[in-house]
Amino acid sequence: MNWKIIAEIGSFFALIYLIARPMGAYLFNVFTGRRTLISALLGGLERILYRLSGVRPDHDQPWFEYALSLLAFNLIGMGFLFIMMLVQRYLPFNPQNYGPVEITLALNTAASFATNTNWQAYVPETTMSYFTQMAGLAVQNFLSAATGMCVAVALIRGFVRRESRTVGNFWVDLVRGTIYILLPIALVGAVFLIGQGIPQNFRAYQKVSPLEGGSQVIPQGPVASQEAIKTLGTNGGGFFNANSSHPYENPTPLSNMIEMLFIIVLAAGLIFAFGYFAGDVKQGRALFNAVFAVMFLSTLFASFSELKVNPLLKKEFRNELRLGGGTGSVIGNLEGKETRFGIGQSALFSALTTSTSCGAVNNMHDSNLPLTGLIEMFNMQLGEIIFGGVGSGLYTLLLFGILTVFVAGLMVGRTPEYLGKKIGPRDMQLTVAAVLLPSALILIFSALVVFLPRALESVSNPGPHGFGQLLYAYTSASQNNGSAFAGLNANTPFWNLTLAFCMLLGRFIPIVLVLKLAGNLGQKKTTPASLGTLPTNDLLFSFMMIMIIIVIGGLTFFPALAIGPLAEHLLIFKGIGF
């Protein structure tokens, strides 16, 4: 690995470590109603929204009411987006005169953006009008991210409250998360991205004559505003089909670095916010250290993998160097990557976007070497907790925290405790169900598809790589990531409907289980720590969590990964390609 790549990766991780705790303090202040630097500016807007919607901010909801409000809001929003795509021909800001979206594709896309997945089985610049992109897709980017934060904060309240039947007010959490966190940061980010050269206009597509002759259509549109929230909210759905590898979405190495920071900053900050809620910042730091270490290792692994040249091409590549009089060494796998980013920033982006539930890409994952694809899938299959989606990463991470104290309790024959709350059988049932449901969806549907010839027609490659394409698709959908191996043609009724089913179940059933868990924990008393209590704020706990995360992921998915990317990696050394 060269020094440039080391510097790129090292500087990025250093920035995250510096930003995470201040961001956590700000998030804590927002969700506890404390004054912030922008309270004077936006406090009036918050009060107006409460009056218009009839929300009483002093009314706390029990978990069931909180869950019902969340589900109703998200499903109604999904319905509006679905209808919008069907009637976009009659809506404004449609200079290309795009007609209705095919019904199964519209359902898939509505489910995708409502669940913070942003799976895109379509070409955005040839399918969606400007109005649909702005009023439909971008709005859901804000609301689905805010929903994730609401669930995380509700679960935290379950841990820190004593003998309480309430977990907060969904509408208050939604408003505060949107207007104090997502809107101002996304606005500043959009302005910065415009300065980097990203378009923000309503012009019709431009037809130009390039120097080599002929004609070319140049897409336009309100790109910067969607680019900012797609990364900040760990949504991932791009304005263009090429996503963040498109020069209109990500034109420079600096814009690439900022987009990567946006992808992780809220997920990392929420982990520290947990520590502030608990009254012990070390609680947040222990969780942060665990996921920080796993993500750093996965990034290094992906970078080392992409610095290798495909063995099928290595001999030919060296012969070309020799014939051209070159003396250089093999420079790595550059297929599917933008030269303005190179291998370092491409591998970092790949590891980051599959660790954080974002799904945006600045290189084509289908072109990466098999072991890099394995890392990308395994990052998602771990539950997307490194650092996971905005909100969803934290509440899933806390579930793994419960699993960790449970395993530790088994070792010493003691009832597990987390932040003074005893974890009972009902709590463990909810935790295990929420953790394992997305994994079950991935494996069941991946196994089902291999027996359906019509479904397999969408897979573009034979052998292990083809299996990797369908495994990646169901992993991405069930874990609400949204990235894909681009070789899969997912725009068919079968794929649209089954992936939508996985996205909806993988998002909302764990949310309901987590909110029920929050209600259970909130009603319990806090037990004082004793000599037999496992500390959950030190490096030992961080190490134990890393082991639990990797072991659960490995036991669940190693057989599937072995017949997919791992088999492909071994076969290319035998001269067999796919």
Q: What is the pLDDT of residues 34-69, one digit of tens each?
A: 988 898 889 899 999 999 989 999 899 999 999 999
pLDDT at residue 502 in the model: 95
Please report which confidence band the pLDDT of residue 330 belongs to, taking 50, 70 and 90 as the band edges: very low
Among 45-49, 141-145, 415-419, whose mean pLDDT is lowest? 415-419
What token pair was written down for 413?
């024959």
pLDDT average, residue stretch 157-166: 92
pLDDT at residue 323 in the model: 41
Q: What distance in Å separates the CA atoms of residue 175 and residue 50, rounded to the nearest whole number?
A: 9
pLDDT average, residue stretch 99-128: 94
471 Cβ neighbours under 8 A, 6+ residues apart: 377, 442, 446, 560, 561, 564
Please report which confidence band the pLDDT of residue 529 belongs to, taking 50, 70 and 90 as the band edges: confident
pLDDT surpassing 90 at residue 332: no
Please report which confidence band the pLDDT of residue 328 belongs to, taking 50, 70 and 90 as the band edges: very low
pLDDT average, residue stretch 184-209: 92
pLDDT at residue 327 in the model: 41
- Whether 234 contacts 146, CB under 8 Å: no
Please report which confidence band the pLDDT of residue 86 belongs to, taking 50, 70 and 90 as the band edges: very high
pLDDT at residue 321 in the model: 44
pLDDT at residue 1 in the model: 56
- Quote the percentage of the chain above a pLDDT of 90: 63
Annotate 311-354 with three-state secondary structure: HHHHHHHHHHHHHCCCCCCCCCCCCCECCCCHHHHHHHHHHHHH
- Whether 435 contacts 552, CB under 8 Å: yes
pLDDT at residue 138 in the model: 94
Among 180-194, 252-266, 408-422, whose mean pLDDT is lowest? 408-422
pLDDT surpassing 80 at residue 314: no
- Whether 390 contacts 372, CB under 8 Å: no
- Whether 166 contacts 111, CB under 8 Å: no
pLDDT surpassing 90 at residue 410: no
Q: What distance in Å separates the CA atoms of residue 98 and residue 125, rounded to the nearest whole number?
A: 10
Tell whether pTM > 0.95: no
pLDDT at residue 316 in the model: 59
Please report which confidence band the pLDDT of residue 315 belongs to, taking 50, 70 and 90 as the band edges: low
pLDDT at residue 319 in the model: 53
Please report which confidence band the pLDDT of residue 324 belongs to, taking 50, 70 and 90 as the band edges: very low
pLDDT surpassing 60 at residue 92: yes
Burial 454-483 (b: 16+ CB within 10 A, else e): ebeebbebeebbbbbbbbbbbbbbbbbbbb
pLDDT at residue 144 in the model: 95
pLDDT average, residue stretch 1-26: 88
Please report which confidence band the pLDDT of residue 251 belongs to, taking 50, 70 and 90 as the band edges: very high
Q: What is the DSSP string of 207-267?
A: EE--TTSS-EEE--SBHHHHHHHHHHTT----SSTTGGGSTTT--SHHHHHHHHHHHHHHH
Q: Which long-range contacts (CB under 8 A, 24 or more apart) does 78-84 make?
A: 78/110, 78/111, 78/113, 78/114, 78/140, 79/110, 80/136, 81/109, 81/110, 81/113, 81/114, 81/136, 81/137, 81/140, 82/106, 82/107, 82/110, 84/131, 84/132, 84/135, 84/136
The sign of the CA dihedral 41, 47, 53, 59 is positive
